[in-house]
Structure 1
Amino acid sequence: MGAFTGKTVLILGGSRGIGAAIVRRFVTDGANVRFTYARSKDAAKRLAQETGATAVFTDSADRDAVIDVVRKAAHWISWW
């Protein structure tokens, strides 16, 4: 049982590089993970297939988009 089993995590900018490593780590530790991507749709799709995490299109440079995804995350958490 991982340290984050039963927890839900939202990672902004998780499709590549450090963000992807963070996604993998949280999944390994048992978390339900949703991560955002903006320009790396193919990388996001591969990471989601590899880890079972959920990719969500969101431009992290767009303040309103970030606010929207955080609001949605509150809804997702209530469903998980």
Structure 2
Amino acid sequence: MKASTVVSFSFDVGNGPVELSVRSPTPLNDDQWHRVAAERNVKEAVLQLDQQYREVRPAPAQGHTRLELYSQLYVGKEQHSHSY
């Protein structure tokens, strides 16, 4: 389960999913605004939180370069189902 201190950005450009995660030292559900920037270009994928915490990965060598949505785009908190 992802904690309230983690922001994730995942995408699949045709050669498997890639996920970037950034961890905040304090919980993000603190009734304050937080700035999240996610970018994927031909060189790299970047996820940045509050202009401080950042993860960068080289872009996959192959795959689509444009964002072409064939299904829904989700922005928000990840939902988890628990089974016991």
Q: Same fold (TM over 0.5)?
A: no
In the superposition, the TM-score normalised over structure 1's length comes to: 0.25
Whichever structure has more helix as a proportion of its residues is 1
Structure scoring higher RCO (CA < 8 A, sep ≥ 6) equals: 1
Whichever structure has more strand as a proportion of its residues is 2
